[in-house]
Amino acid sequence: MSYQGMGNPVFVLGDDSERTSGQDAQTSNISAGKAVAESVRTTLGPRGMDKMLVDSTGEVVITNDGVTILEEMDIEHPAAQMLVEVAQTQESEVGDGTTTASVLAGQLLAKAEDLLGQDVHPTTIVEGYAAARDIGYEALEDLVLEEELDDALLRTVAATSMTGKGTGDVNADALADLVVEAVRHVEGEEGANRDDVRVHTQVGAASSATELVEGIIADKEPVRDDMPRDVADATVAVINTELETREANADVEYNITSVDQLNAALDAEESELRRYAEAVRDAGVDVLVSQKSIDDRVAAYLAEEGILALESVAKSDVSDIANATGATVAGDVTELDDADLGAAEHVHVERFGEDELTFIEGGADASSVTLLVRGSTDHVLSELERAIGDAVDVVVVALDEEGVVPGAGCAEIVVADRIRSEAASIEGRAQLAAEAFADALDVLPRTLAENTGMDPIDALVDLRAANESGRAGLITSGEHGEIADPVEHGVIDPVAVKREALGSATEAATMIARIDDIISAE
């Protein structure tokens, strides 16, 4: 492209760049966004279907999780990529509702396309959508349940987020129990810290064998078989340096001319290695956790001293173990002092099939817990890990943000109705956009109905009517759906999940609708 001004042309873009403008740009962006949203629509709700994603290396992921599907898909279109970001924001902010947010964003785009077709200006759409979203926020606040957030209610919230996620109906309740117990365990004055609940997966047993461990699990076995495997009231040291001779590190050459010299050099090396083990013993350490490797000979000395040592422990595990036990990560074992050391009530090694795991329980400093998630195959386990992760997130978020709302499409219907009735007060054409926003929200209950095999039009009409006189959602239990009170049926979502979905979907849709020029470099 060039600008032919006075004199020489000014080249603004490179020769290879492509440009799409105006309506073409809008249509192309909107179609891409809609297509992406459509791809996850069938996974919404308890009877949503799973997707099998195969990447270029043949790796298979089977999932029902919106954000996972979108991340695994190889999406290149920049506008479509924005929908992936909606799901990612939703996941990082609140941990659940990723399908809801992307499906809503897609529908807001579809409605925006209609509005553009009726010559409503993009800025007016943005204005109307924002006004509708704000009405929606207020309606959500009014929907927050009065009930106290006790364990029973939190279990319901956890179970709602897990339904349809490969947990199996029988197990969801038991897993929800564990999730609530885990969060309660780490809850402090200022709520619960999400990172204190760790999830560790271990293949080889049914999901019903999932258990809560009051501590941290390291995916490691002791460096040597003759080390202790069970230590009570353990003093724990955590280091992040290698335990081997300095020479081995520096790669120096010995310049040796006699057997005596050779022996002297070997002795020096040997005594240096022994000094490490002795220093650890003298500091009173029972369990040594190292982020780096430990030389075989040091390990042998440590074993002689009756010390349980773990080597090459993942960095994140190292810092979590240090946090939980109250140890500081040290760089030099020969200078360990009391302030560096931590403590744990019980450190023990357990065998699971071919793997051995080390449990560090009852840390002196922080109450970290680990959900040891079991599953019969890796695919089952990965999906379960995502489901349980979501459940932990929603319980933390429900506690944090102080509130939950009825699920199963109830919140969306009520919010849409409120927007319709208040849209009248919005001036000009933005009113049309606000009404379109309300219609877009209907996609969520409609999709729930479709995925349950209900007639979507009848279901929506009935659902609206039922909400005039009470509180109603499209409750799925087993094979069929019915219109009933979500709270009574234990279908409850954190208000933060719904709020975030409204916000991030609106943001993405308006951002895409406002673009009227795509300039891409080759």
| Contact status: 456 vs ligand ADP (CB under 6 A) | no
| Contact status: 96 vs Mg ion (CB under 5 A) | yes
| Contact status: 445 vs ligand ADP (CB under 6 A) | no
What is the b/e burial string over 18-40, where b = at least 16 CB atoms within 10 angstroms of the residue's CB?
eebeeeebbeebbbbbbbbbebb
| Contact status: 487 vs ligand ADP (CB under 6 A) | no
The DSSP-derived string for 74-114 is ----HHHHHHHHHHHHHHHHTSS-HHHHHHHHHHHHHHHHH
Distance CA 488, CA 156 (A): 10
Q: Which is nearer to ligand ADP, 43 or 325 (CB)?
A: 43
Query: Does residue 385 contact residue 201 with C-beta atoms inside 8 Å?
Result: yes
What is the b/e burial string over 412-451, where b = at least 16 CB atoms within 10 angstroms of the residue's CB?
bbbbbbbbbebbeebeebbbbbbbbbbbbbbbbbbbbbbb
* Catalytic (active site) residue 334: no
Query: Does residue 345 contact residue 236 with C-beta atoms inside 8 Å?
Result: no
User: Which window, 96-104, 266-274, 306-314, 445-453, contacts Mg ion (CB under 5 A)?
Assistant: 96-104
| Shortest distance, position 397 Cβ to ligand ADP, whole Å | 12
| Contact status: 46 vs ligand ADP (CB under 6 A) | yes
**Pick from Mg ion, ligand ADP, none: which does 504 bind, CB < 5 to 8 A by kind?**
none
Residue nearest to Mg ion (CB): 96
| Shortest distance, position 238 Cβ to ligand ADP, whole Å | 38
Query: Does residue 176 contact residue 162 with C-beta atoms inside 8 Å?
Result: yes
| Contact status: 502 vs ligand ADP (CB under 6 A) | no
Question: Alpha-carbon Rg of the chain, whole angstroms?
Answer: 29
* Catalytic (active site) residue 390: yes
User: Which window, 9-17, 38-46, 327-335, 355-363, contacts ligand ADP (CB under 6 A)?
Assistant: 38-46
**Pick from ligand ADP, Mg ion, none: which does 66 bind, CB < 5 to 8 A by kind?**
ligand ADP
Contacts of 477 (CB under 8 A, 6+ apart): 489
Residue nearest to ligand ADP (CB): 407
Among candidate residues 99, 235, 447, 476, the one labeled active-site is: 99
Distance CA 473, CA 432 (A): 27
The binding track of 377-416 with respect to ligand ADP, each residue x by CB under 6 A or -, is ------------------------------xx--------
Distance CA 179, CA 35 (A): 35
Q: Which residues are catalytically annotated? A: 65, 98-99, 390
Judged by the rule CB under 5 A, the positions of this chain that interact with Mg ion are 96, 161
Please report, as ranges, the residues that interact with ligand ADP according to CB under 6 A.
43-46, 48, 66, 96-100, 160, 163-164, 407-408, 448, 474-476, 491, 493
